[in-house]
Amino acid sequence: MSPPERVELLALMDANMVAVYAADTRATPGGGVAETPGLVMCRTPHGTVATNMAIVTGRIDAPTIRSRTLAFYGPTGSPFSVWTREHADAGLEGELGTLGFHPIHREPGMAFLPGAGRPAPPPPGATIRRVTDDAGRRDYARIMTRAFALYGAPEASTAEHFASLAGVTGPTTQAYLAYQDGHAVAGAILYMAHGVGGIGWVGTLPEEFGRGYGRAVTWAVIAEGLGRGARFMSLQASPMGEPMYRRMGFTTPTHYRWFLAAT
């Protein structure tokens, strides 16, 4: 990949990530998004620092971030984090530190280029289905609530993202579920934006870990995204998911850092 191609890839990854989180927030009852120059802020009623995020999108200084986040999150007392881009915001990260923000997490930004990997067959007996109705939405919410509880996410915070059908299916969104013996065991969602297929909310029931269900639904989302004309697929990986994605053919062109304000 040439330097200009890498710059374009990173710009598209950033744009897709912001669009994914904004769409997810807007589909959440009571969710709010503020798109300002250089900073996009997302907030949900029961959000945590993992789902209430102020994402740096361009040139901005730390004092402006502090004032805008206080104005947006302060009235509701919502917890939040500030997300920076490893490939673009090194100077800003230093500024944030001088204002009392401290890093708490470094998240891999991963990309899958067409042809980078070969899909594995689903686990024996498993079926992969699109989510198209409220029954599927409820299955999806149940799986994600349990899966993300392992990372400390409160049930109310996770469940509210899937309170409406628009959270799992729509013109640019499509969730998939893996079923085994008639029971939903894993899921993942496609978010199309900026010509990129974003992959989000990949989760498996804890008792079903290690059986290939998460991989199977991720491949289904990849096929859907590329079938819709995505130039490549993109996601932000959890610590548990990153090794699986690498085996599938994803690379890690960048990382995103989360910062908390001093209390």
Q: pLDDT, tens digit, for every residue of 175-196?
A: 999 999 999 999 999 999 999 9
Parallel, antiparallel, or unpaired: how do β-strands 183-193 and 196-204 relate?
A: antiparallel
3-109+255-260 and 126-253: same fold?
Answer: yes
- Give the pLDDT confidence score for residue 100 in this predicted structure: 93
- Please say whether the beta carbons of 46 and 68 come within 8 A: no
Range 3-109+255-260 has CATH code 3.30.420: no
- Please say whether the beta carbons of 26 and 249 come within 8 A: no
The answer to whether residue 157 scores a pLDDT higher than 90 is: no
Record the tokens describing residue 97, joined without a space. 């530190």
The answer to whether residue 14 scores a pLDDT higher than 90 is: yes
The strand pairing partners of 235, in sequence order, are 110
Q: Give just the sign of the alpha carbon dihedral 253, 50, 240, 24.
A: negative
**Residue range 38-65: average pLDDT?**
95
Spell out the domain ranges in the chain.
3-109+255-260, 126-253
Write the burial class of residue 63 (CB in 10 Å: 0-12 exposed, 13-18 middle, 19+ buried). Answer: exposed
The strand pairing partners of 35, in sequence order, are 40
Which CATH class, in words, describes the domain spanning 126-253?
Answer: alpha beta
Please, what is the average pLDDT of the chain?
Answer: 95
**Residue range 33-52: average pLDDT?**
94
DSSP notation for 168-236: TEETTEEEEEEEETTEEEEEEEEEEETTEEEEEEEEE-GGGTTSSHHHHHHHHHHHHHHHTT-S-EEEE
- Give the pLDDT confidence score for residue 154 in this predicted structure: 86
Rounded CA Rg of the chain? 18
Name residue 164's amino acid.
S
- Give the pLDDT confidence score for residue 188 in this predicted structure: 98
- Give the pLDDT confidence score for residue 261 in this predicted structure: 86
The answer to whether residue 248 scores a pLDDT higher than 90 is: yes
pLDDT in tens, 100-118: 999 999 999 999 999 999 9
The answer to whether residue 263 scores a pLDDT higher than 70 is: no
pLDDT in tens, 52-87: 999 999 999 999 999 999 999 999 999 999 999 999
Separation CA 93–CA 123 (nearest Å): 43
Distinct helix (H) and strand (E) counts, the chain: 7, 12
pLDDT in tens, 109-144: 999 999 999 998 999 999 999 999 999 999 999 999
Within a 13 Å sphere around the CA of 114, how many CA atoms are in the beta-carbon half? 12
CB atoms within 10 A of CB 195: 13
**Residue range 4-27: average pLDDT?**
96
- Give the pLDDT confidence score for residue 142 in this predicted structure: 97
DSSP notation for 48-99: -TTTSEEEE-SS--HHHHHHHHHHHHGGGT---EEEEETTT-HHHHHHHHHT
Separation CA 24–CA 121 (nearest Å): 29
